[in-house]
Amino acid sequence: MTAGIGATADRRPSRVDDAYAAIKAAIRDGTFAPGYQASAQEMALRLGVSRTPVHEAVLKLQEEGLVRILPKRGIVICALAPDDVREIYDVMIAIEGRAAELAAALPSAERAATVARLEAANGLMAEALARGDMRAWGEADDLFHRDLVESAANGRIIRIARTVGDQMHRARMLTLHLRGNLGASSGEHQAIIAAIRDGDGPAADAAARRHRQRTQAELLPLLEAWGLRHL
């Protein structure tokens, strides 16, 4: 009997994790669009997962600001207003700058591995842009920034970045068709990479901050011009 209880306990976190990952992926790629509202059962049916772990998964997603649980009305996917986007960028400007600085301070072998990963992601962006695949470009851009943050090996920075980064990724994917200067990102990424390769922390910090500040300054007026109040 004890073994049965243990086996159930071992399986339960996996089901919750699976539901969490499935719902988050659906939010990130727009399958569950901002404002989409459904019961836990409806979400489970759409994603092909069990209903019980969906209840637990959405509690975590609510803490991350991706969903809101409405008593007796179900679950709604949170929309982002332009002010939310501004705040998210303010957070990412600060933490990615620090992450880049920490990456530049890594031992040479770890720094070289970080540079290789960042260059690979940047290369994927260039390839996607050349063939006009905006979704692939957005995914590669997300990969670059996740690798940058994770290279810092600071657990708190990583957790914060993952939370706001999921929200930023959705805004990125929903506005790619509005942005006309996507090629600039690759060049700015190269400046970050070069500073990390040289072990120049202040330069890495400055380059990462400049990049996010430029994209923030580009995106927010576009949201205003197009009258986009919810993303």
Same fold, 2-77 and 82-225: no
> Cα–Cα–Cα angle for 155, 198, 153, nearest 5°?
10
Judged against a pLDDT cut of 80, whether residue 193 lies above it is answered with: yes
pTM: predicted TM-score of the whole model, two decimal places: 0.79
Phi, psi of 72 (to 5 degrees): 65, 5
pLDDT tens per residue, range 76-122: 998 888 888 899 999 999 999 999 999 999 999 999 999 999 999 99
Indicate the domain borders of the chain: 2-77, 82-225
What pLDDT score does 231 carry? 67
Quickly name the fold that domain 2-77 has.
Arc Repressor Mutant, subunit A (1.10.10)
Q: How far apart are CA 91 and CA 71, in angstroms?
A: 31
CA nearest 86: which of 226, 221, 227? 221
CATH architecture for residues 82-225:
Up-down Bundle (1.20)
Find out whether 130 and 115 touch, Cβ atoms under 8 Å.
Answer: no
Amino acid letter, residue 144: F
What pLDDT score does 5 carry? 44
